[in-house]
Amino acid sequence: MAISSARESLSLALNNRFLPNLEYLLQGSILDTAVEHLMHRLKGLCDNVDTSPERFHDLEVCMSLRQPTSPQPLLLRVRRALGQDAPFQMRYLGQPEVDMRRPTLVRSCMDCACTNGILDFLTEMGFRLEFEYIAKGYMFRKGRMKITVSKLIKIVPGKQQDMANEPISQSYIVELSVVAPTGQENVGEEMRVFAEQLKPLVQLEKIDYKRLGNLP
pLDDT, position 3:
47
* CA-based radius of gyration for the chain: 18
List the one residue out of 194, 201, 212 whose CA is nearest residue 26. Answer: 194
pLDDT by position in tens, the chain (length 216): 444 444 555 555 555 455 568 999 999 999 999 999 999 999 999 987 677 789 999 999 999 998 777 778 888 999 999 988 889 999 998 888 777 788 999 988 889 999 999 999 999 999 999 999 999 999 999 999 999 999 999 887 665 555 546 889 999 999 999 999 877 878 999 999 999 999 999 999 998 766 555 444
Please report, for the chain, the start and end positions of each structural domain, with discontinuous segments joined by +: 20-207
Cα–Cα distance, 183 to 180 (Å, whole number) = 8
Cα–Cα distance, 118 to 131 (Å, whole number) = 16
pTM of the predicted model as reported, rounded to 2 decimal places? 0.83
Length of the chain: 216
Cα–Cα distance, 143 to 191 (Å, whole number) = 11
pLDDT, position 210:
62
pLDDT, position 51:
73
Contact 173, 204 (CB under 8 A): no
CATH of domain 20-207: 2.40.320.10
